[in-house]
Amino acid sequence: MDRIRIRGGNTLNGTIPVSGAKNAALPLMIASLLTDDTLTLENVPHLADVEQLIRILGNHGTDYMVNGRRENQDKGYSRTIHFTARSIVDTTAPYELVSKMRASFWVIGPLLARMGEAKVSLPGGCAIGTRPVDLFIEGLRALGANIEIEGGYAHATAPKGLIGARYEFPKVSVGATHVLMMAAALAKGDTILENAAREPEVVNLAECLNAMGAKISGAGTSTITIEGVTSLSGARHRIIPDRIETGTYAMAVAMTGGDVLLEGARPDLLESALETLERTGTEITRTNTGIRVRRNGAGIQAVDVETDPFPGFPTDLQAQFMALMTKAKGQSRITETIFENRFMHVQELARLGARISLSGQTAIVEGVERLKGAPVMATDLRASVSLVIAGLVAEGETEVNRVYHLDRGFERLEEKLSGCGAEIERISG
């Protein structure tokens, strides 16, 4: 099993190209099931989750073709992929595929809307919280679907098609907003989604669906209106830059010191996180080519933060920010409001010398002068990269195990960091 070895102590200087957003790519790929024309997606990141979803879509009959790369860059960056689901050959998403990636459950919306039926395995639990699919199921039922849970599967039918309706999410859910928006695009009549997620990835999906012929307004606000259409066509659409990758590398520079341009990053996608970083003493410059992050060696200031749905501080940056706060001057409090059980990285950061205590959903972090390298184990995607950030400044050698978590969401992480001066390498086997 691969692992990553880091020798800490180097500052980061240079340029890091920001990849396309995984959390935008997955629903956009699934949207290809809504049409028998070709959906072309630009800026698709090369990630394990993307490759797994390609296999899942292939199970339903989707063909794909890959081409394109950025000039003067190796194969693997910024791919363009053409998806064509001319014929849906199977409306069942089996357990052995869905169990490997929760987002694959989202195929239930497009399959039901286009084919009138879908049988999708329930995704089961998750290391960072249960994240139940009730919101998906109740929302589709509001659109007229009949859904039975049997044998670990959600079996949904709507033989006469889905019917537009008003539905208010009992809690904000990005995934459920994606699914309901895709399903409602082919429903009869109008659908109004209230308390909808406002994340940039939701906006990116709505823009793509509209390019395919959907009639969606209000994306990016808490109320989304969808006027159903009878069919959707193909389109060409570009995936937004990954705001979580952007924030992660920004925090890595804040941790180590240095001067890095995050090329292609969009500051409007993560203003809350950037403002929080500025409060730590990190210099953030918003430019036409991306975001420049600098820290000249002055100490890191302790800052309290609470995760919230967009436009608040992202839960997907909580672990990385905690790693940064382990080296801050004084005490910081980090409160997680989105997912339960999302503090499993605490015990691994403690192995490096961090001083963190937990009180319910709040972590109290006492900054320390030094972190020391040690073997650590990743527990989930964002937790794993927090250990990398800590390892960049830890004295001696840090070895991060279970890095398959990293491969799910970070494209060529060690290559991007080593290109800016980090001493980091992947060890196979």
Q: Is 368 annotated as a binding residue?
A: no
131 is in an annotated binding site: yes
**384 labeled part of a ligand binding site:** no
The answer to the question of whether 200 is labelled as a binding residue is no
User: Is 135 a known ligand-binding residue?
Assistant: yes
Q: Could you please report the per-residue DSSP string of 70-114?
A: -TTS-TTSSEEEEEE-SS----EE-HHHHTT-GGGGGGHHHHHHH
Q: Is 198 left (phi over 0), alpha (psi -120 to 50) or beta?
A: alpha
Q: Is 420 a catalytic residue?
A: no
* CA 352 – CA 167 distance, rounded (Å): 47
- Annotated catalytic residue within 89, 126, 149, 358: 126
Annotation-wise, does 171 bind a ligand?
yes
- Residue 241: C-alpha distances to residues 45, 367, 419 (Å): 10, 32, 20
Residue 272 is assigned to a ligand binding site: no
To the question of whether residue 173 is assigned a binding role by annotation, the answer is yes
**Ligand-binding site membership of 370 (annotated):** no
Annotated binding residue at 69? no
Is 266 annotated among the ligand-binding residues? no
Could you tell me which residues are beta bridge partners of residue 41? 81, 237
- Give phi and psi for 398, each to the nearest 5: -115, 135
Answer for the pair 425, 38: CB distance below 8 angstroms, yes or no.
Answer: no
* Residues marked as catalytic: 126
Binding residues for UDP-N-acetyl-alpha-D-glucosamine: 102, 131-135, 171-174, 316, 338
Binding residues: 22-23, 102, 131-135, 171-174, 316, 338
Binding residues for phosphoenolpyruvate: 22-23
